Amino acid sequence: MRRFSAVLRHRNAGFSANAMGVWIVPEERLMEVGQIIAEYAAVSHCYQRPTYPPHWNYNLFSMVHGKTTEDCLEVLNSISEQTGLAEYTMLYSTKEYKKVRVKYFTPGTPLPASIGN
């Protein structure tokens, strides 16, 4: 077996709030701060993204899940205190669209020309 995974439907488990914390992190601190944020149990994703100055300077993203928006705010404030980062904002989800797992090479589906040759 090469891969084994599980999907938690967080809304069904009572975690109805989530916030993407977006951070402005000095380049030399990205690895350090990323590891600190990733250790929080409420954080499901933490990753570096490109910036688009002058309007979008946030380079580290962290998805936080909680039962309420206040729970998410508490986690993000805690991260700010622990890392010393004050330049961040929170983006709250307003709608969740259907998520489906990508299915590759299923029976009956023709292969793309570049693979089938």
Give the rounded distance of the alpha carbon of 91 from its chain centre.
Answer: 11
Q: Which residues contact 18 (CB under 8 A, 6 or more apart)?
A: 10, 63, 64, 65, 66, 72, 92, 93
Q: Tell me: the pLDDT tens digits for 41-80? A: 999 999 999 999 999 999 999 999 999 999 999 999 999 9
pTM of the model: 0.73
Alpha-carbon distance 95 to 85, whole Å? 28
- Read off the pLDDT of each residue in 80-97 and give the average, rounded to a whole number: 91
Sequence-ordered strand ranges (E) for 2-113: 17-23, 43-48, 60-66, 88-92
Q: How sure is the predictor about 108, in pLDDT bands with cuts at 50, 70 and 90?
A: confident
pLDDT at 59: 98
| Closest-CA residue to 57 (of 84, 88, 28, 33) | 88
Structure tokens at 33: 């701060």
